[in-house]
Chains A and B, each alone.
Chain A
Amino acid sequence: MNRFFEFFEFSWFDSLVEVGSSYAEQIDGLILTVLIIVGIWFLAAEYIFLHFILKFRAKPGRRGEYIDGKNKRHKRWITIPHLCVLAFDVLIILVSFRVWYNIKMDLPEDPDAVIRVIGQQWAWTFQHPGADGELDTPDDIFTVDELHVENEKTYHFELQSTDVLHSFSVPVWRIKQDAIPGRTITGWFEPTRTGRYDVQCAEICGFGHGVMAAHVMVEDAETHAAWVAANTPAAQ
């Protein structure tokens, strides 16, 4: 069964936006699956539609046919396609269920680190665990609009908001989650490509929504360790 689903994992639009997380290919594969299915339906429907328009243009001396669509022989021209639509819907639902489950429901146990992401009007605050790997300890590193993570490590994030709704979105990771004041929403990601990537706020949050830009630095182990060492707050 897994092999069946792995067939649908494939990235194909990385020229528009890079593939930067472990589950990005699952989402891209789902999008491609839907694209192929609805693309074929769409092209077939438009082809038949335009074909009929051209074929049945009014000509002198020819009348329209009288078909009321009541008898079964005629009706099957719409019942069979509509059963096919239903069947393809089921396929899309199955693939979508798996992607959704892997990304939003099945959080990996024992992540390598937990970070905290706090949205406020109009900036992101990132709380990194620091050298000890634990959140809410004195060596936590706080940054504004710049998240530092290590490549190929699994992270849990705790998403919070201090005022209105925000949405934490990193397109290269294919991740998006709204932040809600009064709640902590936990999710996960595993970056797979080093570099500097955009973080957008994806939920309108007031005057400065358009400038609520942050970025994430995905670093290899050495660079990340150096960053942590250089930024650890001085002990009391």
Chain B
Amino acid sequence: MVEPAVDLTHGHAHDDHADHGPQGWLKYLWSTDHKVIAMQYLFTGIFMALIGGFMAYVFRMQLAFPGMPVPGFGIVSPGEYNALVTNHGTIMIFWVAMPVLLAAFGNFLIPLMVGADDMVFPKINRLSFQVFFVSTIVILASLVVEGGGFAGAWTAYPPLSADSTYNLTPLGSTLWVIGVGLEFVAFLLGGINFITTLMNSRAPGMRAFDVPIVVWMIVVASILFMLSVGPLLAGAIMLIFDQTIGTGFYNPATGGDPILWQHLFWFFGHPEVYVVLLPAMGVVIEIITTFARKKLFAYRTVIFTIVATGVLSFFVWAHHQFIAGIDPRMANIFTVTTLLISVPIAELCFIYIATLYGGSITLSTPMLWALAFVAEFLIGGVTGIFLGAAGADIYFHDTYFVLAHFHYTFFPIAIIGTFAALTYWFPKMFGKLLDERLGKWHFWLTIIPFNMIFIPLFVLGMGGQHRRIYNYTHFPELAGDGFQSMRIIATLSLLVMLGAQFIFLYNCIKTARSKKKAPRNPWKANSLEWTTESPPPHGNWHPDRMPVVYRGPYEYSVPGREDDYWPQNEPK
């Protein structure tokens, strides 16, 4: 007798209040709503991207015009240069790629795509962002403490990172390790939610193979992260002990071993590449199938492929250490595993191409970003083969060839993949449609300069230019005019690319101020997030109208149907 009344009240509450928690600005600090937490991660990530981008601007200016004062920064000292490249890498990976791709889109999409009202553990989710927020403050503080920010490269190899008589940044290096450690804790908390929500909160009727690939990708990425981060957290604690209380885990004079850190770091560091790669690849699959109006080619093969990639990614770490002094026989084993990982990744690229075949392709802005991801990531993928072959790595290790290679993987992941996701889900997140014309200008003015930055850097790397050197005029072989003009081309292209981001900013402001509301399903897509309002209310759907799933998410252009799409929740 009581139950219907309870249900009614419950539904009523959802309709009337945006949130059950605190109201006003506190809502944004203490909300447990997965969409608010997603926004918190998104905006923190974008803010950190601005800082990381500014760092790139400063050190690229120093490389193009060595010794000249950089507008907005001043003269760059060698120590500052090292701190800039170190924190550019750290911030872009741990405070941009991970919070935006994994946390922001993971939080926003997983409950909406599996048809749940929220994450399984909303309070753990809130704690995850709060720990992340603290870690952000710690890493930013590490840049401005006495002695300056940590300057021992984002890989933080001891003994340099472990001893302040060597690195000259006693506070900066300890805060750096603490910041990174806290960030790991935040993502461990978030990962628990991603995995359990996929397992337990799927809408009625949604089987494992009816889940959109991007959700699978984020969950597999979270599993990879959770399995790989433990050893590094232990390593980070040993590093803090070495720095602060004088232990000698990494100090050979007291029986420690600096190579131990490299193994712990890269055992995490290589799976980490796939932790950020997989969500981006998933985003691209959602967009390509929607705008090609095509069913995903071989859904199950994709799942098995990413699981194979994930497993293999735990056995390739020492390819970062071929010339680090490990036993040379070990290099042969890791050459084999590293080249083998090209097989599943190549397969994913073939699946993208096969999915395009026979489609009906609309080149909207999100589709352009998604296609650019495939085209550019291929360059990052094939240049990895050079580095995976240990013989060639003797020459290429720690040169700009490596740098250009991983920027051709991380830029497609963290920037192209993010813009693909952002432009695609923007109407769902904010309820407005971005301007397509401005979006395309932004796209081309980002992609073309991106290639003009890093293609010269491949050539410089082949010429033997090593990384993390603040001024190449000390090296006669590298100081020639030809090489210097390549550095200048790269820097000028970076300026164009950074400038182009203002187009996106302007587009966002213009869209936010326009009155025109986005429809629920502007792209005519199938997955569940498009069946609710834009932006979705608290609880995502009206509690009486939670979605029920009848089919997989990629039923486009099904023969015999009038519409070329078939939403997952539409009864037969």
List residues of chain A with CB under 8 Å of any chain B CB. 13, 16-17, 26-27, 30-31, 34-35, 37-39, 41-42, 45-46, 48-50, 52-53, 56-59, 62-70, 74-75, 77-78, 81-82, 85-86, 89, 92-93, 95-100, 103-105, 121, 163-165, 167, 169, 171-172, 174-178, 180-183, 185, 196-198, 200-211, 213, 215
Known contacts A30-B391, A176-B397: A121-B166 contact under CB 8 Å:
yes
Residue contacts A-B, CB under 8 angstroms, 6 given:
A49-B356, A67-B357, A104-B328, A165-B324, A202-B397, A202-B467
Interface size class of B (residues with CB under 8 A): 35 or more
- Please tell me if the beta carbons of B357 and A52 are within 8 angstroms of each other in the complex: yes
Interface residue stretch chosen among B4-12, B25-33, B132-140, B343-351: B343-351
Option from B157, B297, B329, B386 in Cβ contact (under 8 Å) with A78: B297
- State whether the Cβ of B340 lies closer than 8 Å to any Cβ in chain A: yes
CB contact between B343 and one of A89, A182, A211 (< 8 Å): that residue: A89
In the complex, the answer to whether B160 meets A165 with C-beta atoms within 8 Å is yes
- Whether the pair A205, B297 counts as a contact (CB closer than 8 A) is no
Is residue B71 contacting chain A, with contact meaning CB distance below 8 A? no
Choose among B159, B382, B392 the residue that contacts A41 (Cβ–Cβ < 8 A): B382
Nearest residue (CB) in B for A96 is B389
Knowing A198-B478, A204-B468, the reply to whether A67 touches B385 (Cβ < 8 A) is no
**In the docked arrangement, what's the CA distance between A105 and B328, Å?**
6
Interface: B152 (CB within 8 A): yes
Chain B positions 432 through 470: 1 when the CB is less than 8 Å from some CB of chain A, otherwise 0: 000000000000000000000000000100111011111
Interface presence of B359 (CB below 8 A): yes
Q: Within the assembled complex, what's the spacing in Å between the Cα atoms of A196 and B153? A: 30
CB atoms of A69 and B335 under 8 A apart: no
A56-B292, A81-B346, A104-B328 are contacts. A49–B391 as well, Cβ < 8 Å? no
Are A92 and B339 in contact, with the CB atoms below 8 A? yes
Chain A residues with CB under 8 Å of B359's CB are 52, 56, 64-65
Quote the shortest CB–CB distance from A106 to chain B (angstroms).
10
Known: A46-B375, A67-B354. 14 other contacts (CB 8 A): A17-B464, A27-B391, A34-B392, A42-B378, A49-B371, A52-B359, A64-B293, A100-B390, A103-B394, A178-B325, A206-B166, A210-B81, A213-B475, A215-B476
| Neighbour of B323 across the interface among A86, A178, A215, CB < 8 A | A178
A66 touches B78 (CB 8 A): no
> Are B397 and A100 within 8 A (Cβ)?
no
1/0 per residue B71-104: CB within 8 Å of A? 0000000110110000000000000000000000
Contacts of B559 in A (CB 8 A): 66
A96 with B301: CB separation less than 8 A: no
Contact A185:B292 (CB < 8 A) given known A163-B166, A176-B394, A209-B78: no
- Which residues of chain B from 330 to 374 have any CB-CB distance to chain A below 8 Å in the complex? 331-332, 335-336, 339-340, 342-343, 346-347, 349-354, 356-363, 371, 374
Contacts of A52 in B (CB 8 A): 353, 356-357, 359
Contact present for B462 and A16 (CB under 8 Å)? yes
B258 at interface, CB cutoff 8 A: yes
Q: Which residues of B contact A31 (CB under 8 A)?
A: 386, 392, 395-396
Neighbouring B residues of A164 by C-beta, 8 Å: 157-160, 163, 166
**B392 engages A165 (CB within 8 Å):** no
Residues of chain A with a CB closer than 8 A to B358's CB:
56, 64-65, 67
In the complex, the answer to whether B252 meets A207 with C-beta atoms within 8 Å is no
Whether A64 lies near B335 (C-beta < 8 A) is no
Whether B78 lies near A211 (C-beta < 8 A) is: yes
Query: A residues within 8 A CB of B152?
Result: 204, 206
Q: In whole Å, how far is B352's beta carbon from the nearest beta carbon of chain A?
A: 8
A81 touches B350 (CB 8 A): yes
Q: Which residues of B contact A103 (CB under 8 A)?
A: 391, 394
Given A31-B395, A78-B297, decide whether A204 and B153 contact each other with a Cβ distance below 8 A: yes
**Interface core residue of B294, B339, B459 (most chain A CB under 10 Å):** B339
Residue of B nearest to A80 (CB): B350
Cα–Cα, bound, A208→B394 (Å): 24
Most buried by A among B79, B346, B378, B467: B346
Q: Which of B168, B389, B478 contacts A30 (CB 8 A)?
A: B389
Q: Are B477 and A69 neighbours in the complex by a CB distance under 8 Å? A: no
A102's nearest neighbour on chain B, judged by CB, is B391
Docked pose: A176 CA to B464 CA in angstroms: 11
In the bound complex, do residue A96 and residue B335 qualify as a contact, i.e. CB atoms below 8 Å apart? yes
Assess the A49–B477 pair: CB atoms within 8 A: no
What's the Cα separation between A13 and B371 when bound, in Å?
32
Decide if B329 touches A171 in the complex (CB within 8 Å): no
Which parts of B380-419 form the interface with A (CB within 8 Å)? Answer: 382-383, 385-386, 389-392, 394-399
Give Cα distance in the complex from A93 to B296, angstroms: 33
> A208 contacts B78, CB within 8 Å?
yes
Would you call B295 and A68 a contact (CB within 8 A)? yes
Cα distance, A169 to B461, chains bound together (Å)? 13
Q: Given A46-B375, A64-B359, A204-B160, are A209 and B82 neighbors across the interface (CB < 8 Å)?
A: yes
Would you call B185 an interface residue if the criterion is a C-beta within 8 Å of the partner chain's C-beta atoms?
no
B471 within 8 A of A: yes
Contact B386 A213 (CB under 8 A): no
CA A198 – CA B353 in complex, angstroms? 45
Min CB gap B161→A, angstroms: 9
CB of B167 closer than 8 Å to a CB of A: yes
Task: State the CA gap A169–B468 with chains docked (Å).
Answer: 14
Write the chain A residue with the least CB distance to B293.
A64
- Would A82 and B166 count as touching, CB distance under 8 A? no
Task: Return B107 CB to nearest CB of chain A, in Å.
Answer: 31
Q: In the assembly, what is the distance between CA of A175 and CA of B357, in Å?
A: 46
Contact A78 B356 (CB under 8 A): no
Nearest Cβ distance between residue B350 and chain A, in whole angstroms? 4
